[in-house]
Amino acid sequence: MPKATFYTHVGDPAAFVCRLAERAVKSGGKVLLWADSPETAERLDRQLWQLDPESFLPHELWTHGQALPKDVPLSVSYGDALPGVAPDTVVLNASPDFWCDAPSPPARVLEIVGTGLEELADARERFKAYRKQGFEIEHHNMQGKA
């Protein structure tokens, strides 16, 4: 059964995404960090390069429509349409997209939600959509933690 994990009330979503990406890569497998725009993807790419030198995280900007890079554990991308990904890919969703509607939904989606009322309302809609599509749902309230 696919799983969607929601991290809500995140104070600094961009920094949290980078830390979560690092944890996901260390867990093994391929990770796709899906952004909402080319600007966000490039900003996240820069932030990932600025992580602690001891925790270097190999990654690459990926252009949707090309083959997913095989030699790096983390790809950063965006697009107008969700790509099909291998079932064992973990998707960190830093966009308003509904990964349960992807051509081949991943086995694991990590949803990062900020503190704004609009962000939380959007997350509720994604939560309902994932549940309706049969995803197991997990929730972590990060208020005061991240």
- The answer to whether 142 and 10 are in contact (CB under 8 A) is yes
Let me know if residue 20 belongs to a domain.
yes
Q: Is residue 22 part of a domain?
A: yes
> Which residues span the domain enclosing 43?
3-141
Burial of 91 (0-12, 13-18, 19+ CB in 10 A): buried
Q: Tell me whether residue 90 is in a domain.
A: yes
Closest CA to 87 of 20, 24, 7, 1: 1
CA pair distance 125, 93, nearest whole angstrom: 14
Tell me the per-residue pLDDT of 68-102, one tens digit each, with 9 for 90 and over: 777 889 999 998 888 888 888 999 999 989 999 99
Q: How many domains does the chain have?
A: 1
Rounded to whole angstroms, the Cα distance separating 103 from 82 reads 7
Structure pTM?
A: 0.90
Residue 146 located in a structural domain: no
For residue 71, tell me if it sits in a domain: yes
Residue 77's nearest CA partner among 60, 62, 94 is 62
List the CATH number of the domain containing 73: 3.40.50.10110
Q: How far apart are CA 129 and CA 23, in angstroms?
A: 26
Using a pLDDT cut of 90, give the percent of the chain over it: 51
135 domain-assigned: yes
Instruction: State pLDDT tens for residues 54-67.
Output: 667 788 888 877 77
Query: Does residue 34 form part of some domain?
Result: yes
Per-residue pLDDT at 38: 92
